[in-house]
Chains A and B, each alone.
Chain A
Amino acid sequence: MEGIFTLAPLLVFLPVLGLLINIAFGGRMSEKVIGWLASAAAGATFVVSALLAYALWAANGEAVTVPFADWITIGTLHIPWTFRVDTLSVTMMLVVSGVGTLIHIYAIGYMHEDVRFKGDPKRFRRFFVFMNLFIAMMMILVSGDSYLMLFVGWEGVGLCSFLLIGFWYDMDTLGRPSWANSNAAKKAFITNRIGDFGFLLAGMTMFWAFGSVQFGEVFGRAEEIAAAQPGIIIAITLFMLIGVTGKSAQIPLYVWLPDAMAGPTPVSALIHAATMVTAGVYLIARSWPLYTLVPDAQYIVALVGAVTALFAATIAVGQYDIKKVLAYSTISQLGFMVAAVGMGAFVAGMFHLVTHAFFKALLFLSAGSVILGLERGHHHLAHHKGHEEHEEVFDPGDMRNMGGLRKRMPVTFWLYIIGTLALAGIFPFAGFWSKDEILLDAAKLHPEVFALLLTAAFFTAFYMGRQIWMVFFGEPRHAAAAHAEESPKIITVPLMVLAGLSLLGGALNLPGVHTFGHWLEHTIEMVEHEAHLPAWLAISWGGLNPLVALASTVLALLAIYFSWLIYGRKPLITGQIDPLKKALGPIFTGMEHKWYVDEFYWAVFVDRYVDIARFLADVVDWRFWHDWFHEKVIAGTYNWLSHIALNRYADQKGIDAFFNGLGELTKRAAASLRRLQNGFVRSYALAVLLGVVLIVGYLVIR
């Protein structure tokens, strides 16, 4: 049985193999082969994860580390690449690879149509290369045995996010040539980078305090370090929180996720719903030994999550783009998860992570199906009506263009309903069980968090209801919607699988049985809070509190009813302004404009940064450094040196003058000496006599 654990490196290398084959031979393969190859790689990863899970279950959940390679060995610093197979990481592996495989299969069909709608079929291969790369990076993240390996995967998925958001890098979402998509990708990367900086600070502080970043060593010594320097643990956990707000899109670094919807829908589903964004939650869950030592930091985490949940939910109410609603919904649900793990309810948080992966992926993919349906209708119209129709700018994702789609796309409709009900937390769908657990824990531990989350749950149900009425009911508000076509099986079948999981996913952690909870407890020690609970909270049907459950269900149903009142009873017609706008006025405008957070960031941070950059570039670099220092000081001095000092003075006046003078001297000497040869014999004779006189004189004197 131990042998199975040695398969762990395959988690990373099977997707790498897939992407390498696609890079090398993809040019010669058909789209089907490329897509199915990538999906097979993801599927094989899922098989390995399942095997590891089985082996772990057989070993009673004892964590296993599989050393793979030595990475850094400098002096006392030793960081190997080790795979950690424990219940927590295996959970993540299964979710990522399982949902990932389904999305790969979906993407075969989706991208086949999308590259044709956007007009560049040659990019099909790139997509699957990047998707496999993402799976590989995510696997590194969840299987790492040290914070550094985790960070490698963390950065890697950030890169893949950038590559995939900016997949249509030269267009905007409607296919027009633009910087919009690449800007969205840049925004995602840079915002994540800020979070990564926090993570790095945490890592460095950890290394400084513990001397290691390996999970085993850090968690083993956590209590002792906390006793000696409690501030360090708080610092580490809060720095990590910064990283989490970046990767898992919490306040204040969530702004990239709505823009990330510029990427193709499978990307939104995989990365920005099911897997990458959950990395932050995983990080906190993994670091439970550190967090449980600092309740103050935990409270901050929980608050951040709860506030984000409510904040994002309010924004979702005012969005018109089908994917943007889901994006803010994701931020909101991540807030739930972060709040949960912040409060110490690690099982609840991870459970919600799993169920959220199911129904959010389902929702995104179904939204993709809807968008494709509208695109098909639009093209159908364009072909029939000639090319004048193409002049109009048509946004297939705008819900105001939709309506009545339940008749045109029934399969998608029912799948969407299942996803919505799961998200809203209606019994017996999966979301009910996981969200309810979080609410219960919040109620027990922090009533204010409970209030925030409950309100967020209300809004969740409301905006999802709004979405359903606007998209699927009423009459089509655009000709494209009237001609929308249902998606092929390759798209709808993975959705059905996800729908099944959304329906039955609750079974993972049913009250009383708590399969998932027991599974996770092998890795995470759960502490039961027996603090004085009011009577109504103390009721427990195997862990489920009926009052809280009832309250949340009633609220959800109320919210759906309200949404029906506003959007369902009198369905919107073409061009009609959203009824809530009239009702709420400026509040709705705020929701619609995302509470102007992006504008605020731009004005305060980005524009100031650009100003500083421009100042440094123009003034410091060009005017000071280049124009003045280099030109005047260095070049000027050098030129002065060479032209004036050396050329004029040293060379011309000095050396030339000297040598010219030498020649001049010789000439003059010669000219004057020449006159001795006057041709007169007498003077020669005189010279001889003078010589004689001198010599004799010398002899005399001597």
Chain B
Amino acid sequence: MIPLNHYLLLSAILFTMGALGVLIRRNALIIFMSIELMLNSANLAFVAFARSFEQTSGQPVFNGQLFVFFVIAVAAAEVAIGLALIVAIFRVKRNVDVDQMSSLKG
């Protein structure tokens, strides 16, 4: 019998750590992975809520789970494109340090 807010707190912690990863790390791939971590934590929250609604309404609620399903699909697509981008950039810059990709400066 795990209270809902435990799951949500965990989700928040994971999300924060993912955000921290995006902000702190300079390796583009690590950043990408941190983004996946953040998405993941959001998925966790979705499923937790789905379960909680099921609890309150009595009927099984699958909306949250389906949403997670879509998120995973989209995450896959996004990873594909993102990695392709990183590869393309790597070909030019020979490294994946995001601090090197700062030509659009004001």
Contact = CB atoms under 8 A, between A and B. Distances in A.
A and B touch in their complex, CB below 8 angstroms = yes
Interface of A: 674-682, 685-686, 689
A396 B46 CA distance: 142
B23 A678 contact: no
A679 B23 contact: no
Nearest to B28: A681
A682 B26 contact: yes
10 contacts: A675-B106, A678-B102, A680-B98, A680-B105, A682-B22, A682-B26, A682-B99, A685-B23, A686-B23, A689-B19
B1 interface: no
Given A680-B98, A680-B99, A685 B22 contact: yes
B87 interface: no
Interface in B83-105: 98-99, 101-105
Interface string B51-95: 000000000000000000000000000000000000000000000
A178 B71 CA distance: 122
Given A678-B106, A680-B102, A682-B99, 20 more contacts: A674-B106, A675-B106, A677-B105, A677-B106, A678-B102, A678-B105, A679-B102, A679-B104, A680-B98, A680-B99, A681-B98, A681-B101, A682-B24, A682-B26, A682-B98, A685-B22, A685-B23, A686-B23, A689-B19, A689-B23
A322 to B, nearest CB: 113
A519 B68 CA distance: 147
A677 B106 CA distance: 5
The residue in B101, B103, B105 that gathers the most chain A C-beta atoms within 10 A of its C-beta is: B105
Contacts of B99: 680, 682
Contacts of A681: 98, 101-102
A409 B18 CA distance: 148
Contact of A682 (B23, B103, B105): B23
A677 B105 CA distance: 5
Nearest to A689: B19
A681 B19 CA distance: 13
Contacts of B103: 679
A669 to B, nearest CB: 13
Contacts of B24: 682
Contacts of A675: 106
Which 6 pairs of residues, A with B, have the shortest CB-CB distance?
Answer: A677-B106, A679-B102, A679-B105, A674-B106, A680-B102, A679-B104
B98 A676 contact: no
A677 B103 CA distance: 10
Nearest to B105: A679
Interface residues of B, number: 13
A253 B22 CA distance: 120
A689 to B, nearest CB: 6
A112 B83 CA distance: 130
Contacts, number: 33
A684 to B, nearest CB: 10
B21 to A, nearest CB: 11
The residue in B24, B26, B102 that gathers the most chain A C-beta atoms within 10 A of its C-beta is: B102
A493 B101 CA distance: 132
Nearest to A683: B23
Contacts of A676: 106
A345 B106 CA distance: 120
Contacts of A674: 106
A681 B27 CA distance: 12
A675 B103 CA distance: 13
Contacts of A678: 102, 105-106
A686 B25 CA distance: 12
Contacts of B23: 682, 685-686, 689
Contacts of B101: 679, 681
Contacts of B102: 678-681
A677 B104 CA distance: 8
Contacts of B106: 674-679
Nearest to B98: A681
A666 to B, nearest CB: 15
A542 to B, nearest CB: 134
A674 B105 CA distance: 9
A680 B31 CA distance: 13
B86 to A, nearest CB: 13
A134 to B, nearest CB: 100
Interface string B10-53: 00000000010011101000000000000000000000000000
Nearest to B20: A689
A697 to B, nearest CB: 14
Nearest to B16: A689
B7 to A, nearest CB: 19
A681 B26 CA distance: 10
A675 B105 CA distance: 8
Contacts of A679: 101-106
A524 B55 CA distance: 145
A674 B104 CA distance: 12
A570 to B, nearest CB: 130
A489 to B, nearest CB: 119
A465 B89 CA distance: 143
B28 to A, nearest CB: 9
A674 B99 CA distance: 18
A676 B102 CA distance: 12
A194 B11 CA distance: 120
B32 to A, nearest CB: 12
A690 to B, nearest CB: 10
A682 B26 CA distance: 8
Contacts of B19: 689
Contacts of B98: 680-682
Contacts of B104: 677, 679
Nearest to B106: A677
Nearest to A680: B102
Nearest to A673: B106
Nearest to A681: B98
A686 B101 CA distance: 16
B1 to A, nearest CB: 28
B25 to A, nearest CB: 8
A409 to B, nearest CB: 121
A642 to B, nearest CB: 45
A14 B24 CA distance: 122
A685 B19 CA distance: 9
Contacts of B22: 682, 685
Nearest to B104: A679
A518 B97 CA distance: 144
B84 to A, nearest CB: 18
Contacts of A677: 104-106
Contacts of A682: 22-24, 26, 98-99
Contacts of A680: 98-99, 102, 105
The residue in A675, A681, A685, A689 that gathers the most chain B C-beta atoms within 10 A of its C-beta is: A681
A437 B77 CA distance: 151
A505 B99 CA distance: 139
A493 to B, nearest CB: 119
Nearest to B99: A680
B19 to A, nearest CB: 6
Contacts of A689: 19, 23
A680 to B, nearest CB: 5
